[in-house]
Chain A
Amino acid sequence: MNVFNRIVILILSVASLAFGIIGLLLLGGLIAPAAVSPNGVLLRQWSVFTQLTAADATAAALVCAVLALVGLILLILELLPGRREPAQFLVRQDGLGKVTVTRSSVQDLVQFEAAAVQGVMETRQAVDEGRKGLRVRVRASIAPEAEAPQVGKTLQERVQTAIQRHIGLPVDEVQVATQIEPFEHRGRQPRVR
Chain B
Amino acid sequence: MSSPTPEGVAVDMQAVSVQPLSAYLSDLDLARVIASAVRQVPGVLEMSPGRFALEATYGPGEHVSGVVLQHPTPDTLSVAVHVVVAEAAFRAAFDEATLSQLAPDPEQCPMLLRLAEQIRTVVSQAADTLGLPALVAIDVALDDVG
Contacts and interface: CB of A to CB of B under 8 A. Distances in A.
Interface of A: 2-3, 87-88, 91-92, 96-102, 104-105, 108-109, 112-113, 116, 161-162, 164-168
A100 B91 contact: no
14 contacts: A87-B52, A88-B141, A91-B142, A92-B113, A98-B140, A99-B139, A99-B142, A102-B143, A105-B85, A108-B87, A112-B94, A167-B111, A168-B110, A168-B112
Contacts of B80: 97
A116 B94 contact: yes
Given A3-B52, A98-B140, A100-B141, A166 B120 contact: no
Contact of A105 (B52, B108, B143): B143
A105 B110 contact: no
B144 interface: yes
Contact of B137 (A96, A165, A166): A96
A167 B114 CA distance: 9
Given A105-B85, A112-B91, A116-B94, A99 B113 contact: yes
A100 B97 contact: no
A105 B142 contact: yes
A165 B113 contact: no
A102 B53 contact: no
A100 B145 contact: no
List the 9 closest pairs (A to B, CB-CB), nearest first.
A168-B110, A97-B137, A97-B139, A99-B116, A108-B145, A166-B111, A101-B142, A98-B139, A168-B113
Nearest to A4: B53
Contacts of B16: none
A116 B104 CA distance: 19
Nearest to B140: A99
Contacts of B116: 91-92, 99
Contacts of B111: 165-167
A87 to B, nearest CB: 6
A109 B115 CA distance: 15
Contacts of B108: 165
A44 B142 CA distance: 55
B144 A96 contact: no
B140 to A, nearest CB: 5
Nearest to B109: A168
Contact of B142 (A102, A113, A161, A162): A102
